[in-house]
Structure 1
């Protein structure tokens, strides 16, 4: 089975699927950080190469909610958001049987459709609270445990926050994710996908697709 991991330079998801026996290829404009099968270039150069599954991580720079404040009265920014939405739409409608699109909460929900699932990395063992939206085509929702009695193995962990004093809240205290420690200018590191979700995708979606082939 062939998997395309689109807009991924880290190799994290590619390697998770490779470990499950897939012929997995990552694709990004950047070189891969983990040696492996990687196409450096435009994903639409290879998107029709008979892949059974595509998982795509389109850049969220012009798609995230945080980007909206820059759009009004800024035609250039507006055009970039339109182009980003068109890119997502074309990925969603690729001729691949199984597709997952990942992005944070943003304008995809407003202009294309709402996500099928919203998860956090801490649901799958990484202690990061970060809303992660998934738009799915013929793939099941990812299963996870937030209760000890749901599965034999508890997959979730407690999210880590940093608390700081703030005059903006009634309590005088606010908290933000450990992601905040990365700060501005560290978008590349903040955008890296988390191993726990990658492993869950590889485990659960491989089993689903194999069962469909029986």
Structure 2
């Protein structure tokens, strides 16, 4: 019992004591309430980070379903707002990467899409279509973004039958970090980190060990 609690305390200290500026916690995954084609889910991905923001890399892999792509927007940034949205409402639900806002202005920062990912174990050129995403982007030269909370980095619109997985490499403060998650019925969700899973398991074990045992009466 004592050993379990001691190990849990050590891991908790490691988990909550920041040693470097970097991505904080898991990405925030939200369902956006905006006009979208029928049968689609609009997912927003936001991050919290310390230090200066650098490159972001994203992989989205589907085993079924599709990624919505509006043909009028290439995805290298948010679509241009009014007067186009009233003419083409589905444009607001387009899939794209961004830095700081879910619209081209105000709030979004100038950025540069540099190609495909290099840190997520997948090689090859950029892919940004209805089947998969493999994209890397960063602040444009001369653009400095320091620290951010609830900071949008991508909008990903999926059919409500979509299933698969996603991986994100996020670099800030000179530290890169990889997080991952799943996709179910068109919605993105986080996968708990190993430390969180271990802490939860230790907590359950500690409670179980601490419970009195009763001998069954025959």
The one of the two structures with greater contact order (alpha-carbon pairs below 8 A, sep at least 6) is 2
TM interval, shorter chain, is: under 0.3
Structure ID, larger Rg:
2
Decide which structure has greater strand share: 2
